Amino acid sequence: MRRVMHERFGGPEVLELREVDEPHAGSGEVRIRVEAAALNPVDWKIFSGGPAAAARGLRPPLGVGNDIAGTIDEIGPEVDGWAVGDRVFGSARTRALQDRTVVDPAVERLARMPAGLDPAVAASLVVAGRTAWDGVEQLLERPGETVFINGAAGGVGQLAVQLAERRGARVIGSASERNFAFLRSLGAEPVAYGKGLAERLEAMLPIDACFDCAGADGIAAALEVGVPVERCIAIAEKGAHGARGVAGDLALTGALDELAQLAATGELVVAIEQRYALEAFREAYEHLMEGHVRGKLVIELAQ
């Protein structure tokens, strides 16, 4: 089978597509035929060898990616609740960009794909969806509050905008002007990021909370206009200006089920900027690392 791997840390140039033996499900495990894998910034932060790799105890040789959607095609002994043919999505840390991957459902969260849900959309909900869910749950205390989401057109931001709006919040979202119409379609009031952000936010007060999905500039601007640091969350630069983060990768197991139902019924929009074949994995990660992606980038595995 095909698998994207790296033997050393570095940029996208260290990634290789190899033919390897298929894995098989052991005790308590299921094997998934991968149909789609959504990309996340943490992927390249791991294969580049930074703190994200060290914090997880990861060293090459490694595979790549985390967010998958596909069909179970093999069941190991002592597996309850899953069957061959089940359509699923979830986590397979460093084992996503490959034709088949093995998952222990007791360790790495799997959820069922509702009928008709695009596998690319399902995969896009895994890390981004849980992150957006937890951020909104932590920040919003009552309906009618105003939350500022920095990087609102990105993979996490687009979902956070909609989840906050569903909770009855007024949402201000920063993005480039090319994404203003997109943010309005999701229910947000757009504001341009970059120099002068605090002054622009000053004209949109009151603001009760800040969810920074794009770095530290959103937190800095929110603090400048009076948002207390206790009501701020940063995910791209953890701990920025004293802001807290979100739950870890394996938390919030119930969130995926509700997110998938919302996406399947069209109540939650998941924008996918571009879909790539597996052979274009390096181009996909170069695109992701450039930033300014609207929504998600997805690798689709034709088999």
Please tell me whether residues 141 and 216 are part of one structural domain: yes
Predicted local confidence at residue 1, as pLDDT = 97
Please tell me whether residues 206 and 164 are part of one structural domain: yes
Look at residue 238 and tell me whether its pLDDT is greater than 90: no
Look at residue 250 and tell me whether its pLDDT is greater than 50: no
Predicted local confidence at residue 303, as pLDDT = 61
Q: What are phi and psi of 3, to 5 degrees?
A: -150, 130
Domain CATH code at residue 296 = 3.90.180.10
Please tell me whether residues 77 and 136 are part of one structural domain: no
CB 251 within 8 A of CB 229: no
Predicted confidence (pLDDT) per residue in 117-141, tens digit: 999 999 999 999 999 999 999 999 9
Q: What average pLDDT does this structure show over 85-99?
A: 97
* Residue that has been written with the tokens 């992606």 in this structure: 293
Distance between CA atoms of 87 and 125, rounded to whole angstroms?
A: 15
Predicted local confidence at residue 247, as pLDDT = 72
Calculate what percentage of the chain has a pLDDT beyond 90: 91
Question: Is residue 85 situated within a structural domain?
Answer: yes
Angle at 111 between CA 44 and CA 124, to 5 degrees: 35
CB 219 within 8 A of CB 149: no
Nearest to 111 by CA among 246, 263, 247, 238: 263
Look at residue 55 and tell me whether its pLDDT is greater than 80: yes
Question: Is residue 193 situated within a structural domain?
Answer: yes
Predicted local confidence at residue 66, as pLDDT = 97
Q: What average pLDDT does this structure show over 272-297?
A: 96
Distance between CA atoms of 28 and 115, rounded to whole angstroms?
A: 26
Look at residue 208 and tell me whether its pLDDT is greater than 70: yes
Nearest to 290 by CA among 12, 8, 67: 12
β-pairing, 110-112 vs 87-91, is: antiparallel
Predicted confidence (pLDDT) per residue in 140-152, tens digit: 999 999 999 999 9
Nearest to 168 by CA among 141, 207, 130, 202: 141
Rounded to the nearest integer, the mean pLDDT of the chain is 95
Look at residue 236 and tell me whether its pLDDT is greater than 60: yes
Please tell me whether residues 25 and 113 are part of one structural domain: yes
**Domains in the chain: how many in total?**
2
Q: How confident is the model at residue 109 (pLDDT cuts 50, 70, 90)?
A: confident
Please tell me whether residues 117 and 204 are part of one structural domain: no
Please tell me whether residues 102 and 174 are part of one structural domain: no
Question: Is residue 25 situated within a structural domain?
Answer: yes
Q: What average pLDDT does this structure show over 84-97?
A: 97
What predicted TM-score, i.e. pTM, was given to this entire model? 0.95
Please tell me whether residues 12 and 120 are part of one structural domain: yes
Please tell me whether residues 99 and 136 are part of one structural domain: no
Q: What are phi and psi of 255, to 5 degrees?
A: -65, -35
Question: Is residue 248 situated within a structural domain?
Answer: no
Predicted local confidence at residue 252, as pLDDT = 58
69-101: b (≥16 Cβ within 10 Å) or e: bbbbebbbeebeebeeebbbbbbbbbbbbbbbb
Domain boundary among 242, 262, 280: 242
Question: Is residue 175 situated within a structural domain?
Answer: yes
Look at residue 253 and tell me whether its pLDDT is greater than 70: no
Distance between CA atoms of 252 and 250, rounded to whole angstroms?
A: 7
Please tell me whether residues 116 and 138 are part of one structural domain: no
Please tell me whether residues 6 and 115 are part of one structural domain: yes
Question: Is residue 69 situated within a structural domain?
Answer: yes
Please tell me whether residues 38 and 99 are part of one structural domain: yes
Calculate what percentage of the chain has a pLDDT beyond 70: 98
Look at residue 251 and tell me whether its pLDDT is greater than 90: no
Predicted confidence (pLDDT) per residue in 174-195, tens digit: 999 999 999 999 999 999 999 9
Please tell me whether residues 182 and 228 are part of one structural domain: yes
Q: What average pLDDT does this structure show over 79-89?
A: 97
Predicted local confidence at residue 302, as pLDDT = 74
Question: Is residue 174 situated within a structural domain?
Answer: yes
Domain, as residue range, for 234: 128-242
CB 56 within 8 A of CB 98: no
Domain CATH code at residue 224 = 3.40.50.720
Burial of 60 (0-12, 13-18, 19+ CB in 10 A): middle
Question: Is residue 261 situated within a structural domain?
Answer: no
